[in-house]
């Protein structure tokens, strides 16, 4: 018997949210490579989701945690460009100012 979840309901009402939180679990466990992949799934599988700017931001933070400043900059700049009036864009601007 299959357990309910994202695998059973990949296009359910809360699937984008579930996908994002999978990324969050990996992020908080400091498994940044896995977090990056899960956040990427949010942006690819649910491109119109309100979780996309959140996923991009956390993906950028994950790259920073791995020491990949170039990838982090690209993602943070993308948030500012694509979602300029969001709290995620504000956080991205602040983080970009601190990246040297």
Specify the pLDDT at position 13: 73
Specify the pLDDT at position 1: 38
Q: Provide the residue-wise pLDDT of the chain in tens; the chain has 100 residues.
A: 344 466 655 666 789 999 999 999 999 999 999 999 999 999 999 999 999 999 999 999 999 999 999 999 999 999 999 999 999 999 999 999 999 7
Specify the pLDDT at position 76: 97
Cβ within 8 Å of residue 58, ≥6 positions away? 23, 24, 27, 35, 39
Give domain status of residue 66, yes or no.
yes
Is the torsion defined by CA of 17, 49, 84, 69 positive or negative?
positive
* pTM, entire model: 0.89
| Size (the chain), residues | 100
Give domain status of residue 84, yes or no.
yes
Q: Is 37 left (phi over 0), alpha (psi -120 to 50) or beta?
A: alpha
Cβ within 8 Å of residue 70, ≥6 positions away? none
Give domain status of residue 3, yes or no.
no
Q: For the chain, how many structural domains are there in total?
A: 1
Give domain status of residue 46, yes or no.
yes
| 45, burial (CB in 10 Å: exposed 0-12, middle 13-18, buried 19+) | middle
Give domain status of residue 59, yes or no.
yes
Specify the pLDDT at position 14: 80
Q: Is 21 left (phi over 0), alpha (psi -120 to 50) or beta?
A: alpha
CATH number at residue 67: 1.25.40.10
Give domain status of residue 65, yes or no.
yes
* Range(s) of the domain holding residue 59: 39-100
CA 84, chain centre distance (Å): 16
């Amino acid at each position: 018997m299959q357990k309910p979840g994202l695998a059973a309901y990949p296009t359910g009402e809360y699937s984008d949210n579930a996908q994002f939180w999978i990324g969050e679990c990996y992020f908080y466990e400091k498994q940044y490579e896995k977090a990056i992949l899960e956040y990427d799934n949010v942006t690819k599988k649910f491109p119109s989701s309100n979780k996309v700017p959140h996923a991009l931001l956390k993906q950028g933070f994950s790259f920073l945690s791995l020491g990949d400043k170039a990838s982090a900059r690209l993602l943070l700049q993308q948030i500012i460009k694509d979602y300029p009036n969001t709290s995620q864009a504000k956080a991205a601007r602040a983080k970009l100012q601190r990246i040297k």
